[in-house]
Amino acid sequence: MDSWLPSLSVDGGPAYVQIVDALATDIERGELPRGSRLPTQRALAHRMGVGIGTVTRAYAAAEGLGLIEAVVGRGSFVAGAARAPQVDAVIDLSRNVAPIEPAAAALRTGFAAVARRADLAARLDYPPDGGFEADRRAGAMWLSRVANLPDADPSRLIVTAGAQQAIAVALAALCRPGEALIVERATFHGVRGAAERAGLRLAPAMMDSEGLTPEALARAARETGAKVAYVQPFQNPTARVMGRARRREIVEAARLTGVTLIEDDLYGPHVADLGLPPLAALASDQVAYVSGLTKCVAPGLRTGYLIAPERVRAAALEALRAVSFGPPTLGAALGTQWIESGVGFEIFAAVRRELGRRTEMAVQMLAGLAEPVRQSVTTHLWLPMGELDAERVAGQALRAQVRVTPPSAPFPEGVAVDGLRVCLGGAADLEALRRGLEVLRSALQPGRALAENVV
């Protein structure tokens, strides 16, 4: 396809990013068959009227994402055959993970770049408090660019082995065994496990269409004496998103009741285009902020970030030392390298493109069955239903080789199940997701049941 020519728009962002997006789109549509030869960088730059450096950067980014491959002396070609769908494998709609292909495609070049880092040998030693400076700066850069947290301060940021460790560290710094922890009525199952290990009592608080309500937060604080609440502005499992006014109301309710918020913003970058500020941006002294690279780049990086109020930072560092003797070292190097080089942002853009396609498909196929979402990209959907129906649908789907989140997983003990989470990122590809959603849709139809052997 020596004649391939992408078009640029004035408001479409950096030119090199638009070229990469156009490549990804045309490959997905089949307009650039695998093995097709692309125009030379000089030729494409001339035809587009851009500098050759722009095209060089675009081709390098596309190669890092596995879209194309450069052959010395021959040129650049659309990358090899796509992975064949796993027809007989269980389709995983149970795990909230980012589609892994964009990160996998950049892995080898990423490791090669890490091997050339000047600070590589230093990472064999114990790290400074909070993590190596490069990791803290990279984390602050990431949060400022993708999470609407422009004032992220590297000196306050603590690097952790994933966001789950950041949550556990925040709980250890803020709570004492036997105390109550306020959580949403349906919450992240990981915080349930962390709270149990810390000897905390969960205090479920009611939600509405935007997640936790300020009235429920204040009521739970009064009735239980809790001084800490775990809150998700982009809610897992329901995919509900707090609006701007609600975020301010939650912060104000926390101030009035003396509650410190643990804000889990791990999914926040996927809705950052809505322009909503994190709770930490509204009240940094009232919020322990948790984020990381798991849901945006790849879970295996195990790179998380915690920004705690200054009054508890020392306690957070003590808690981290108690469980791992400090922040990760070599494990954080790849995430930092990708952020510094810009590849991490390109991987995130590719992940969002793929999740956007999956979101569009899922919303259409589950129309009238899933709770509506306001965002164009989501990692999961929520299917409202009672406990018996949720167990029936989950069991029926599993017999058809489709796994969904166990219905009781998001609910604290004593809270009735009222829905089922469906995750979009774990399926191998769009076709596998489509098959999985068809199974769910059939199971959700009144009076319908998947075929079973009956004697």
Q: What is the mean pLDDT of residues 43-53?
A: 91
Higher pLDDT, 28 or 291: 291
Paired tokens of 327: 């922040």
Taking the C-alpha atoms of residue 425 and residue 351, their distance in angstroms, rounded to an integer, is: 9
Please say if the pLDDT value at position 278 is more than 50. yes
* Domain covering 91-106+344-444: architecture: Alpha-Beta Complex (3.90)
Q: Does domain 118-341 have CATH number 3.20.20.70?
A: no
Please say if the pLDDT value at position 83 is more than 70. no
pLDDT for 9 equals 81
pLDDT for 204 equals 98
Taking the C-alpha atoms of residue 204 and residue 191, their distance in angstroms, rounded to an integer, is: 12
Taking the C-alpha atoms of residue 347 and residue 142, their distance in angstroms, rounded to an integer, is: 13
pLDDT category at 15 given cuts 50, 70, 90 is confident
Would you list the domain boundaries of the chain? 15-78, 91-106+344-444, 118-341
Taking the C-alpha atoms of residue 205 and residue 201, their distance in angstroms, rounded to an integer, is: 13
pLDDT category at 1 given cuts 50, 70, 90 is low
Give domain 15-78's CATH number out of 3.40.50.2000, 3.40.50.300, 1.10.10.10, 3.30.465.10.
Answer: 1.10.10.10
pLDDT digits (tens, 9 = 90+) for 112-124: 999 999 999 999 9
pTM of the full structure: 0.83
Vertex 31, ends 29 and 34: CA angle to 5°?
Answer: 95
Please say if the pLDDT value at position 167 is more than 90. yes
pLDDT for 74 equals 83
pLDDT for 85 equals 41
- Residues pairing with 292 in the sheet: 304
- Residues pairing with 440 in the sheet: none
pLDDT for 453 equals 42
Question: DSSP class of residue 238?
Answer: T
Residue 225: C-alpha distances to residues 220, 252, 285 (Å): 8, 17, 20
pLDDT category at 452 given cuts 50, 70, 90 is very low
- Residues pairing with 78 in the sheet: 68
pLDDT category at 190 given cuts 50, 70, 90 is very high
Please say if the pLDDT value at position 62 is more than 90. no
pLDDT category at 21 given cuts 50, 70, 90 is confident
